[in-house]
């Protein structure tokens, strides 16, 4: 991981927080690949699906993006959240692990591609109120835009944005409180 990547990721996240969706998608894809590499290296015994931790980390990054200081490096912030969510995932499954943050700095994970399996987040989605669930799944699983979702559901774009925001916050909260 080089200083150039760090600067690029900071730029993307700054743009995202200001409302640039394309920059945010780019940021999240890169972060997902890095976190996936990190988590896979850390999970040596079974019981925890690395991709679940990747998704929980992305959600946590999303709902806590206001805690990133724009003048601070973004990768230590990302890895601290990933480590927290990894420990949390083990704790929820009745395990304890120690993840040293220091060694991360030297050996930043290689980006890795996703493998498919059943996800905790998909199950969390089922627990949402119907209005939020239909908005979140329309945009995520069906890949519709905000506008298309609004047209399909017969509600305003603002209502779609509100439902999406609340639905994502509710899913993230479920993982925090288990």
Partner 1 sequence: MRTEDLIKALDADARSKAMPQDSAWWLAVAAAAMIAATVFWLTIGPRPDIMAAMHTMRFLAKFVFTIALGVSAFALIRALSTPGASTARAATWMAVAPLLVVVAVALELFAVPSPEWGRRLVGTNWYICLTFIPLIGIGPLAVFLAALRHGAPTRPMLAGTVAGLLAGGLSATFYAAHCFDDSPLFVATWYTLAIVILTALGAIGGRLFVRW
- Residues near partner 1 (CB under 8 A) are 16-25, 28-29, 32, 51, 54-55, 58-60, 62-69, 72-73, 76-81, 83-84, 114, 116, 119, 121-122, 125, 136, 139-141, 143, 145-146, 161, 164-165, 168, 172-173, 176-177
Comparing CB distances to partner 1, the nearer of 30 and 41 is: 30
Comparing CB distances to partner 1, the nearer of 29 and 95 is: 29
Comparing CB distances to partner 1, the nearer of 22 and 95 is: 22
Closest listed residue to residue 74, CA positions, set 86, 63, 61:
61
Comparing CB distances to partner 1, the nearer of 28 and 41 is: 28
CB 116 within 8 Å of CB 52: no
CB of 176 to partner 1, least distance (A): 4
CB of 94 to partner 1, least distance (A): 17
CB of 164 to partner 1, least distance (A): 5
CB of 88 to partner 1, least distance (A): 9
CB of 165 to partner 1, least distance (A): 5
Distances (CA, A) of 124 to 37, 90, 120, 129, 161: 24, 18, 6, 11, 19
CB of 137 to partner 1, least distance (A): 8
Comparing CB distances to partner 1, the nearer of 41 and 88 is: 88
């Amino acid at each position: 991981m080089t200083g150039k990547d760090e600067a690029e990721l900071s730029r993307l996240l700054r743009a995202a927080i200001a409302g640039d969706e394309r920059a945010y998608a780019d940021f999240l894809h890169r972060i997902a690949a890095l976190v996936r590499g990190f988590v896979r290296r850390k999970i040596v015994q079974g019981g925890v699906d690395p991709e679940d931790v990747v998704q929980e980390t992305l959600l946590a990054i999303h709902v806590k993006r206001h805690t990133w200081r724009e003048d601070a490096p973004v990768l230590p912030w990302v890895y601290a959240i990933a480590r927290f969510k990894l420990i949390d995932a083990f704790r929820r499954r009745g395990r304890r692990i120690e993840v040293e943050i220091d060694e991360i700095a030297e050996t930043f994970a290689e980006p890795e591609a996703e493998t498919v399996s059943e996800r905790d987040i998909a199950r969390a989605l089922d627990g949402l109120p119907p209005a939020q669930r239909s908005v979140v799944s329309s945009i995520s699983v069906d890949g519709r835009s905000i506008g298309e979702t609004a047209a399909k559901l017969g509600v305003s774009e603002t209502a779609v944005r509100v439902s999406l925001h609340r639905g994502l916050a509710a899913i993230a909260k479920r993982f925090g409180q288990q």
